[in-house]
Chains A and B, each alone.
Chain A
Amino acid sequence: MRFLSVFLPRLATDRLLRRRRGAAPEAFALYARVKGAERLTAVDARAQKRGLAPGMAVADARARCPALALAEADPKADAALVAGLADWGRRFTPLAAPDPPDGLLLDVTGAAHLFGGEAALLDDVESRLRALGFAARAAIAPGPALARALARFSNTRLVAAQARQEELDRLAASFPIDALVLEGEALAGMRRAGLRSIGDLLERPRAPLAARFGAQALTRLDALTCRIRDPITPRFEAPAFIAERRFPDGLTRQEDLAATLTRLASDLCPMLERAGVGARRLEAVFYRVDGAVKRITAGTSRPLRDPARLAALLAERLSAVAEEGLDTGYGFDVLQLSATEVESAVPPQTAFVAPPRGGETDEDLGDLLDRLGARLGLRRVLRLHPEAAHLPEFAIAAVPAAFGAPRPHTEKCAESAMRPLRLFERPEPIEAIALFPDGPPLKFRWRRVLREIVAFEGPERIAAPWWDDAPQQFTRDYFHAQDKNGQLFWLFREGLYGRETDNPRWFVHGLS
Chain B
Amino acid sequence: MSQSGVSERILFLRRRIAAIEARDATAARAPLTQDRARHCERSEAIQDSDVALDCFVADAPRNDGDDFLSPLFATGRGGLSEIFSARPPDAPAAAAFALAMALRAQAARAGGALVFIIEDMSAREFGLPYGRGLMAAGVDLSRVALIKVRRPREALWAMEEALKSPACAAVVTEVFLDARLYDLAASRRLLLAARRGGALGVLAPQGTPAGRVSSAAELRVEIAANRSAQPAPLASARPPLSPLAPFLWRLRVLKARAGLLGAPGEIDPAQWRDIAFDPERVAFRHAFPERLPAEARDRPPVAAPSRRRA
Contacts and interface: CB of A to CB of B under 8 A. Distances in A.
A135 interface: no
Given A452-B231, A484-B227, A487-B92, A420 B145 contact: no
Given A386-B132, A419-B132, A406 B161 contact: no
B185 to A, nearest CB: 19
Contact of B226 (A480, A486, A510): A486
Interface in B50-104: 89-90, 92-93, 95-96, 99
Contact of B127 (A357, A380, A406, A422): A422
Nearest to A367: B165
Interface in A398-432: 398, 401, 405-409, 413, 416, 418-425
Interface string B102-143: 000000011111010000000110111111111111001111
Contacts of A482: 229, 241, 245
A452 B229 CA distance: 12
Given A413-B136, A423-B130, A485 B227 contact: yes
A409 B140 contact: yes
A369 interface: yes
A171 B115 CA distance: 69
Contact of B133 (A361, A382, A422, A442): A422
B227 A368 contact: no
B231 A454 contact: yes
Contacts of B111: 357-358, 360
A36 interface: no
B130 A421 contact: yes
Interface stretch (A223-231, A252-260, A332-340, A370-378): A370-378
Contacts of A398: 128, 131, 146
B228 A486 contact: yes
B166 interface: yes
Interface string B236-269: 1011111101101000000000000000000000
A454 to B, nearest CB: 5
Contacts of B231: 452, 454, 484
B144 interface: yes
A384 B246 contact: no
B37 interface: no
B95 A380 contact: no
Contacts of A214: none
B141 A454 contact: no
Contacts of B129: 384, 421-422
B148 A380 contact: yes
B232 interface: yes
B19 interface: no
B158 A408 contact: no
A376 B127 contact: no
B147 A376 contact: yes
A511 interface: yes
A421 B167 contact: no
Residue from A384, A424, A449, A457 whose CB has the most chain B CB atoms within 10 Å: A384
**Chain B interface residue bracket vs A:** 35 or more
B151 to A, nearest CB: 10
A238 interface: no
A406 B142 contact: yes
Contacts of A358: 109-112
Q: Most A CB atoms within 10 A — which of B115, B130, B161, B239? A: B130
A512 interface: yes
A132 interface: no
A319 to B, nearest CB: 11
Contact of A364 (B89, B90, B147, B166): B166
A111 B246 CA distance: 66
B170 interface: no
B149 interface: yes
A485 B92 CA distance: 13
A381 B148 CA distance: 6
B167 A361 contact: yes
A429 to B, nearest CB: 15
Contacts of B162: 368, 372
Contacts of A384: 129, 131, 134, 141, 144, 146
A182 interface: no
A477 to B, nearest CB: 16
Given A419-B130, A512-B96, A372 B142 contact: no
Nearest to B239: A455
A396 to B, nearest CB: 3
A422 B131 CA distance: 8
A406 B245 CA distance: 29
B200 interface: no
Contacts of B30: none
Interface in A417-466: 418-425, 435, 440, 442, 449, 452-457
Interface of B: 89-90, 92-93, 95-96, 99, 109-113, 115, 123-124, 126-137, 140-150, 154, 157-158, 161-162, 165-168, 224-232, 235-236, 238-243, 245-246, 248
17 contacts: A357-B111, A368-B145, A368-B161, A383-B145, A384-B131, A384-B141, A386-B131, A398-B146, A420-B133, A423-B127, A440-B238, A453-B238, A454-B232, A454-B238, A455-B239, A482-B245, A484-B227
Interface of A: 357-362, 364-365, 367-369, 371-372, 375-376, 380-386, 392, 395-396, 398, 401, 405-409, 413, 416, 418-425, 435, 440, 442, 449, 452-457, 480-482, 484-488, 510-512
Given A421-B92, A456-B238, A456-B240, 5 more contacts: A357-B111, A401-B145, A457-B241, A482-B245, A486-B227
